[in-house]
A and B are shown apart, each in its own frame.
Chain A
Amino acid sequence: MKQFQGKTLSWKCGEGCIELVLDRAPCNEIGSATLPEMEQFVETLTTMQGEAHALIISSARKEGFCAGADLRELYRESQPLAATERLTRLREFLARIHRVMNAIDSAPLTTIAAIQGIAFGGGFELALVCDLIIADKTARFCFPELRLGLIPGFGGIPRLKRDIGNAVVRDLLLTGRSINATKAQSVGLVSQVVAEGDALRIARSTAAQLKKFDRETAAAAKNFIKPIPYDELRREIEIFCDLFTRPAVEAGLRKFSESADALPYLP
Protein backbone atom coordinates (compact mmCIF):
# COMPACT_ATOMS: atom_id res chain seq x y z
CA MET A 1 0.00 0.00 0.00
CA LYS A 2 1.29 3.44 -0.95
CA GLN A 3 0.82 6.06 1.71
CA PHE A 4 1.90 9.50 2.86
CA GLN A 5 1.55 11.30 6.14
CA GLY A 6 2.03 15.05 5.93
CA LYS A 7 1.48 17.91 8.35
CA THR A 8 -1.90 18.92 6.92
CA LEU A 9 -3.12 15.84 5.08
CA SER A 10 -2.45 12.18 4.45
CA TRP A 11 -3.22 9.72 1.74
CA LYS A 12 -3.14 6.01 1.14
CA CYS A 13 -3.74 3.86 -1.90
CA GLY A 14 -4.92 0.29 -1.61
CA GLU A 15 -7.59 -2.11 -2.84
CA GLY A 16 -8.38 0.08 -5.82
CA CYS A 17 -9.11 3.22 -3.86
CA ILE A 18 -7.06 6.30 -2.97
CA GLU A 19 -8.10 8.10 0.21
CA LEU A 20 -7.00 11.67 0.80
CA VAL A 21 -7.71 12.91 4.32
CA LEU A 22 -7.45 16.59 5.23
CA ASP A 23 -6.31 17.21 8.78
CA ARG A 24 -5.22 20.69 9.69
CA ALA A 25 -6.63 22.65 12.66
CA PRO A 26 -8.96 24.34 12.97
CA CYS A 27 -10.89 23.30 9.84
CA ASN A 28 -8.46 22.46 7.04
CA GLU A 29 -7.90 26.04 5.91
CA ILE A 30 -5.89 25.98 2.68
CA GLY A 31 -2.75 28.10 2.84
CA SER A 32 1.02 27.83 2.63
CA ALA A 33 1.15 24.63 4.68
CA THR A 34 -1.60 22.71 2.88
CA LEU A 35 -0.98 23.77 -0.69
CA PRO A 36 2.49 22.16 -1.13
CA GLU A 37 1.14 18.89 0.26
CA MET A 38 -1.84 19.06 -2.09
CA GLU A 39 0.63 19.64 -4.95
CA GLN A 40 2.62 16.65 -3.80
CA PHE A 41 -0.59 14.63 -3.74
CA VAL A 42 -1.60 15.47 -7.32
CA GLU A 43 1.93 14.66 -8.50
CA THR A 44 1.67 11.26 -6.88
CA LEU A 45 -1.90 10.89 -8.14
CA THR A 46 -0.62 10.53 -11.69
CA THR A 47 1.36 7.45 -10.67
CA MET A 48 -1.30 6.00 -8.34
CA GLN A 49 -4.34 6.50 -10.56
CA GLY A 50 -3.49 3.47 -12.70
CA GLU A 51 -3.98 1.29 -9.64
CA ALA A 52 -7.25 2.79 -8.47
CA HIS A 53 -10.86 3.16 -9.53
CA ALA A 54 -11.75 5.84 -7.04
CA LEU A 55 -10.43 8.73 -4.99
CA ILE A 56 -12.17 9.73 -1.78
CA ILE A 57 -11.46 13.12 -0.22
CA SER A 58 -12.53 13.51 3.41
CA SER A 59 -11.68 15.38 6.58
CA ALA A 60 -10.41 14.15 9.91
CA ARG A 61 -11.62 17.37 11.56
CA LYS A 62 -14.91 17.18 13.42
CA GLU A 63 -15.45 20.88 12.64
CA GLY A 64 -16.03 20.09 9.02
CA PHE A 65 -14.69 19.24 5.59
CA CYS A 66 -12.84 22.48 4.87
CA ALA A 67 -13.38 26.14 5.77
CA GLY A 68 -11.67 27.33 2.59
CA ALA A 69 -8.63 29.50 2.01
CA ASP A 70 -6.56 30.51 5.02
CA LEU A 71 -7.69 34.13 4.91
CA ARG A 72 -5.89 35.14 8.08
CA GLU A 73 -2.59 33.99 6.59
CA LEU A 74 -3.43 35.61 3.27
CA TYR A 75 -4.09 38.94 4.98
CA ARG A 76 -1.08 38.70 7.34
CA GLU A 77 1.39 37.84 4.61
CA SER A 78 0.08 40.38 2.13
CA GLN A 79 0.26 43.31 4.54
CA PRO A 80 4.00 44.10 4.35
CA LEU A 81 3.98 43.89 0.54
CA ALA A 82 3.56 46.65 -2.00
CA ALA A 83 0.35 46.46 -4.04
CA THR A 84 1.99 45.05 -7.18
CA GLU A 85 3.94 42.42 -5.23
CA ARG A 86 0.78 41.52 -3.33
CA LEU A 87 -1.04 40.87 -6.56
CA THR A 88 1.85 38.89 -8.05
CA ARG A 89 1.93 36.61 -5.01
CA LEU A 90 -1.84 36.21 -5.11
CA ARG A 91 -1.76 35.22 -8.79
CA GLU A 92 0.95 32.66 -8.08
CA PHE A 93 -1.07 31.20 -5.23
CA LEU A 94 -4.25 31.02 -7.31
CA ALA A 95 -2.41 29.47 -10.26
CA ARG A 96 -1.01 26.78 -7.98
CA ILE A 97 -4.34 25.98 -6.35
CA HIS A 98 -6.05 25.89 -9.76
CA ARG A 99 -3.47 23.39 -11.01
CA VAL A 100 -4.31 21.16 -8.05
CA MET A 101 -8.06 21.54 -8.52
CA ASN A 102 -7.85 20.94 -12.27
CA ALA A 103 -5.73 17.82 -11.76
CA ILE A 104 -8.28 16.29 -9.39
CA ASP A 105 -11.18 17.45 -11.56
CA SER A 106 -9.75 15.75 -14.65
CA ALA A 107 -8.28 12.65 -12.99
CA PRO A 108 -9.29 9.49 -14.89
CA LEU A 109 -10.86 7.87 -11.86
CA THR A 110 -14.10 8.57 -10.05
CA THR A 111 -13.65 11.11 -7.29
CA ILE A 112 -15.87 11.35 -4.23
CA ALA A 113 -16.02 14.11 -1.61
CA ALA A 114 -17.20 12.81 1.77
CA ILE A 115 -18.50 15.84 3.62
CA GLN A 116 -19.38 16.52 7.22
CA GLY A 117 -19.81 19.95 8.78
CA ILE A 118 -18.83 22.97 6.80
CA ALA A 119 -17.65 23.05 3.18
CA PHE A 120 -17.21 26.80 2.83
CA GLY A 121 -15.48 28.87 0.18
CA GLY A 122 -12.42 26.95 -1.02
CA GLY A 123 -13.72 23.89 0.83
CA PHE A 124 -16.90 23.98 -1.23
CA GLU A 125 -14.74 24.48 -4.32
CA LEU A 126 -12.67 21.41 -3.44
CA ALA A 127 -15.88 19.38 -3.11
CA LEU A 128 -17.02 20.70 -6.50
CA VAL A 129 -14.00 19.25 -8.31
CA CYS A 130 -15.17 15.80 -7.25
CA ASP A 131 -17.51 13.69 -9.38
CA LEU A 132 -19.78 12.77 -6.48
CA ILE A 133 -20.55 14.52 -3.21
CA ILE A 134 -21.71 12.40 -0.32
CA ALA A 135 -22.78 14.54 2.62
CA ASP A 136 -23.85 13.68 6.11
CA LYS A 137 -26.68 15.56 7.79
CA THR A 138 -24.36 18.06 9.47
CA ALA A 139 -22.97 19.31 6.15
CA ARG A 140 -23.38 22.93 5.07
CA PHE A 141 -22.22 24.47 1.82
CA CYS A 142 -21.53 28.16 1.34
CA PHE A 143 -19.76 30.73 -0.79
CA PRO A 144 -19.24 33.49 1.80
CA GLU A 145 -16.79 35.45 -0.37
CA LEU A 146 -19.13 38.33 -1.18
CA ARG A 147 -19.30 39.07 2.54
CA LEU A 148 -15.59 39.92 2.22
CA GLY A 149 -15.92 41.87 -1.01
CA LEU A 150 -14.63 39.00 -3.15
CA ILE A 151 -15.83 36.18 -5.34
CA PRO A 152 -14.79 32.53 -5.01
CA GLY A 153 -11.26 32.18 -6.39
CA PHE A 154 -10.54 28.44 -6.48
CA GLY A 155 -12.79 27.74 -9.47
CA GLY A 156 -16.08 27.61 -7.61
CA ILE A 157 -18.32 29.64 -9.89
CA PRO A 158 -17.60 27.84 -13.19
CA ARG A 159 -17.77 24.46 -11.49
CA LEU A 160 -20.99 25.21 -9.65
CA LYS A 161 -22.44 26.51 -12.92
CA ARG A 162 -21.33 23.29 -14.61
CA ASP A 163 -23.26 21.22 -12.10
CA ILE A 164 -26.46 23.11 -11.30
CA GLY A 165 -28.85 25.75 -12.60
CA ASN A 166 -27.75 29.35 -12.95
CA ALA A 167 -30.51 30.63 -10.64
CA VAL A 168 -29.21 28.48 -7.78
CA VAL A 169 -25.66 29.63 -8.50
CA ARG A 170 -26.82 33.25 -8.27
CA ASP A 171 -28.70 32.54 -5.05
CA LEU A 172 -25.66 31.00 -3.34
CA LEU A 173 -23.18 33.47 -4.75
CA LEU A 174 -25.11 36.71 -4.35
CA THR A 175 -26.69 36.04 -0.94
CA GLY A 176 -23.64 34.27 0.50
CA ARG A 177 -26.03 32.06 2.43
CA SER A 178 -25.21 28.55 3.52
CA ILE A 179 -27.38 25.56 2.67
CA ASN A 180 -27.70 22.21 4.38
CA ALA A 181 -27.18 18.77 2.86
CA THR A 182 -30.86 18.18 2.13
CA LYS A 183 -31.19 21.46 0.23
CA ALA A 184 -27.90 20.74 -1.57
CA GLN A 185 -29.28 17.38 -2.64
CA SER A 186 -32.57 18.93 -3.80
CA VAL A 187 -30.71 21.28 -6.17
CA GLY A 188 -28.64 18.42 -7.56
CA LEU A 189 -25.35 19.16 -5.87
CA VAL A 190 -25.17 16.26 -3.44
CA SER A 191 -25.66 12.72 -4.66
CA GLN A 192 -26.35 11.08 -1.29
CA VAL A 193 -27.33 12.43 2.13
CA VAL A 194 -26.38 10.06 4.92
CA ALA A 195 -26.59 9.86 8.70
CA GLU A 196 -24.28 11.98 10.82
CA GLY A 197 -20.77 10.52 10.78
CA ASP A 198 -21.48 8.10 7.91
CA ALA A 199 -20.19 10.03 4.88
CA LEU A 200 -16.82 8.29 4.68
CA ARG A 201 -18.32 4.82 5.20
CA ILE A 202 -20.84 5.38 2.40
CA ALA A 203 -18.13 6.89 0.18
CA ARG A 204 -16.09 3.70 0.66
CA SER A 205 -19.11 1.57 -0.13
CA THR A 206 -19.68 3.63 -3.29
CA ALA A 207 -16.00 3.23 -4.22
CA ALA A 208 -16.37 -0.54 -3.83
CA GLN A 209 -19.27 -0.45 -6.32
CA LEU A 210 -17.13 1.50 -8.84
CA LYS A 211 -14.50 -1.20 -8.68
CA LYS A 212 -16.87 -3.55 -10.51
CA PHE A 213 -16.68 -1.43 -13.66
CA ASP A 214 -14.00 -1.24 -16.33
CA ARG A 215 -11.69 1.64 -15.43
CA GLU A 216 -11.21 2.91 -18.98
CA THR A 217 -14.96 2.94 -19.65
CA ALA A 218 -15.58 4.90 -16.45
CA ALA A 219 -12.84 7.37 -17.39
CA ALA A 220 -14.31 7.79 -20.91
CA ALA A 221 -17.78 8.40 -19.46
CA LYS A 222 -16.41 11.00 -17.05
CA ASN A 223 -14.39 12.70 -19.76
CA PHE A 224 -17.51 12.89 -21.94
CA ILE A 225 -19.86 14.30 -19.31
CA LYS A 226 -17.56 16.51 -17.24
CA PRO A 227 -15.75 19.14 -19.30
CA ILE A 228 -13.29 21.36 -17.45
CA PRO A 229 -14.34 25.01 -17.98
CA TYR A 230 -10.77 26.29 -18.44
CA ASP A 231 -11.68 29.64 -20.02
CA GLU A 232 -14.10 30.54 -17.23
CA LEU A 233 -11.62 29.37 -14.60
CA ARG A 234 -9.00 31.75 -15.99
CA ARG A 235 -11.58 34.54 -16.11
CA GLU A 236 -12.49 33.90 -12.49
CA ILE A 237 -8.84 34.40 -11.45
CA GLU A 238 -8.78 37.72 -13.30
CA ILE A 239 -11.95 38.98 -11.62
CA PHE A 240 -10.73 37.80 -8.23
CA CYS A 241 -7.42 39.66 -8.65
CA ASP A 242 -9.17 42.82 -9.87
CA LEU A 243 -11.42 42.81 -6.81
CA PHE A 244 -8.63 41.96 -4.39
CA THR A 245 -6.95 45.35 -4.78
CA ARG A 246 -10.06 47.23 -3.61
CA PRO A 247 -10.07 48.85 -0.15
CA ALA A 248 -13.32 47.02 0.73
CA VAL A 249 -11.52 43.70 0.50
CA GLU A 250 -8.68 44.84 2.72
CA ALA A 251 -11.21 46.07 5.27
CA GLY A 252 -13.13 42.78 5.10
CA LEU A 253 -9.99 40.69 5.49
CA ARG A 254 -8.74 42.87 8.34
CA LYS A 255 -12.01 42.47 10.20
CA PHE A 256 -11.88 38.72 9.59
CA SER A 257 -8.26 38.48 10.77
CA GLU A 258 -8.84 40.48 13.92
CA SER A 259 -11.69 38.25 15.03
CA ALA A 260 -11.02 35.10 17.02
CA ASP A 261 -14.32 33.57 15.90
CA ALA A 262 -14.25 30.69 13.44
CA LEU A 263 -16.58 32.27 10.90
CA PRO A 264 -16.76 35.94 11.88
CA TYR A 265 -18.54 36.91 8.66
CA LEU A 266 -21.65 35.00 9.77
CA PRO A 267 -24.56 35.46 9.75
Chain B
Amino acid sequence: MAKYEQMKTLQDTTNEVLDLAATHFKVPREQLTPDDDFFKRLGINSLQALDLLTRIEQHFHIELPDYELQGVSDFRTLAERIQSRL
Protein backbone atom coordinates (compact mmCIF):
# COMPACT_ATOMS: atom_id res chain seq x y z
CA MET B 1 0.00 0.00 0.00
CA ALA B 2 2.75 2.45 0.98
CA LYS B 3 4.62 1.78 -2.28
CA TYR B 4 1.47 2.33 -4.28
CA GLU B 5 0.83 5.64 -2.48
CA GLN B 6 4.37 6.83 -3.28
CA MET B 7 3.79 6.11 -6.95
CA LYS B 8 0.80 8.38 -7.18
CA THR B 9 1.24 11.39 -9.41
CA LEU B 10 -0.15 14.79 -8.58
CA GLN B 11 -2.76 14.20 -11.24
CA ASP B 12 -3.81 10.92 -9.59
CA THR B 13 -4.10 12.65 -6.26
CA THR B 14 -6.03 15.57 -7.72
CA ASN B 15 -8.49 13.21 -9.40
CA GLU B 16 -8.99 11.27 -6.19
CA VAL B 17 -9.67 14.48 -4.25
CA LEU B 18 -12.19 15.55 -6.87
CA ASP B 19 -13.88 12.12 -6.74
CA LEU B 20 -13.97 12.25 -2.94
CA ALA B 21 -15.44 15.76 -2.87
CA ALA B 22 -18.02 14.94 -5.54
CA THR B 23 -19.16 11.81 -3.74
CA HIS B 24 -19.27 13.25 -0.26
CA PHE B 25 -20.89 16.57 -1.12
CA LYS B 26 -23.12 15.07 -3.81
CA VAL B 27 -21.90 17.27 -6.65
CA PRO B 28 -21.66 15.83 -10.19
CA ARG B 29 -18.02 14.89 -10.72
CA GLU B 30 -17.93 16.43 -14.19
CA GLN B 31 -18.73 19.82 -12.67
CA LEU B 32 -15.52 19.87 -10.62
CA THR B 33 -12.16 20.95 -12.02
CA PRO B 34 -8.73 21.18 -10.32
CA ASP B 35 -8.74 24.97 -10.29
CA ASP B 36 -12.17 25.35 -8.71
CA ASP B 37 -12.48 27.13 -5.40
CA PHE B 38 -13.81 24.24 -3.33
CA PHE B 39 -15.54 26.49 -0.82
CA LYS B 40 -17.56 28.12 -3.60
CA ARG B 41 -18.01 25.11 -5.87
CA LEU B 42 -19.10 22.78 -3.07
CA GLY B 43 -20.89 25.54 -1.14
CA ILE B 44 -19.19 24.58 2.10
CA ASN B 45 -18.18 26.44 5.25
CA SER B 46 -15.17 25.91 7.52
CA LEU B 47 -16.92 23.11 9.43
CA GLN B 48 -17.62 21.18 6.25
CA ALA B 49 -14.09 21.86 4.99
CA LEU B 50 -12.86 20.20 8.15
CA ASP B 51 -15.09 17.23 7.38
CA LEU B 52 -13.49 17.08 3.92
CA LEU B 53 -10.07 17.16 5.55
CA THR B 54 -11.01 14.22 7.79
CA ARG B 55 -12.13 12.21 4.77
CA ILE B 56 -8.96 13.11 2.89
CA GLU B 57 -6.82 11.94 5.81
CA GLN B 58 -8.72 8.65 5.94
CA HIS B 59 -8.65 8.10 2.19
CA PHE B 60 -4.95 8.80 1.72
CA HIS B 61 -3.86 7.42 5.13
CA ILE B 62 -2.08 10.65 5.95
CA GLU B 63 -2.10 13.29 8.65
CA LEU B 64 -2.61 16.76 7.22
CA PRO B 65 -2.60 19.52 9.86
CA ASP B 66 -5.37 22.01 9.17
CA TYR B 67 -2.91 24.92 9.21
CA GLU B 68 -1.32 23.43 6.09
CA LEU B 69 -4.51 24.52 4.35
CA GLN B 70 -3.99 28.18 5.22
CA GLY B 71 -4.87 30.13 2.08
CA VAL B 72 -5.69 26.97 0.13
CA SER B 73 -9.04 27.06 -1.62
CA ASP B 74 -8.55 25.21 -4.92
CA PHE B 75 -8.42 21.45 -5.44
CA ARG B 76 -5.07 21.50 -7.22
CA THR B 77 -3.22 23.18 -4.34
CA LEU B 78 -5.04 20.93 -1.90
CA ALA B 79 -3.79 17.92 -3.88
CA GLU B 80 -0.24 19.33 -3.75
CA ARG B 81 -0.44 19.54 0.04
CA ILE B 82 -1.65 15.93 0.16
CA GLN B 83 1.04 14.82 -2.27
CA SER B 84 3.76 16.16 0.00
CA ARG B 85 2.51 13.86 2.77
CA LEU B 86 2.29 10.64 0.73
Residues of A within 8 A of B (CB): 27, 63-64, 117-118, 137-140, 142, 175-180, 182-183, 261-264, 266-267
Contacts and interface: CB of A to CB of B under 8 A. Distances in A.
Nearest to B47: A262
Interface string B64-86: 01111110100000000000000
A177 B51 contact: no
A110 B58 CA distance: 30
Interface residues of B, number: 17
Contacts of A264: 46
A263 B50 contact: yes
B36 interface: no
Nearest to A26: B47
A222 B68 CA distance: 39
Nearest to A27: B47
A64 B46 CA distance: 13
Given A140-B50, A183-B63, 10 more contacts: A63-B47, A64-B47, A117-B51, A137-B54, A137-B58, A139-B54, A263-B45, A266-B46, A266-B49, A267-B66
B37 interface: no
Contacts of B69: 267
Given A177-B67, A267-B68, A267-B69, A138 B51 contact: yes
B58 A266 contact: no
21 contacts: A63-B47, A118-B47, A138-B51, A140-B54, A142-B66, A175-B65, A176-B67, A177-B65, A177-B66, A178-B66, A180-B54, A180-B57, A262-B45, A263-B46, A263-B47, A264-B46, A266-B50, A267-B66, A267-B67, A267-B70, A267-B72
Contact of B58 (A175, A180, A261, A267): A180
A264 B63 CA distance: 22
A196 B63 CA distance: 19
A229 B51 CA distance: 33
B30 to A, nearest CB: 26
A182 B58 contact: yes
Contacts of A262: 45-47
Nearest to B63: A183
A182 B45 CA distance: 23
Contacts of A27: 47
Nearest to B67: A267
Contacts of A175: 65, 67
Contacts of B68: 267
Contact of A266 (B54, B57, B63, B66): B66
Interface string B19-40: 0000000000000000000000
Given A138-B54, A140-B54, A261 B46 contact: yes
B86 to A, nearest CB: 17
A250 B30 CA distance: 45
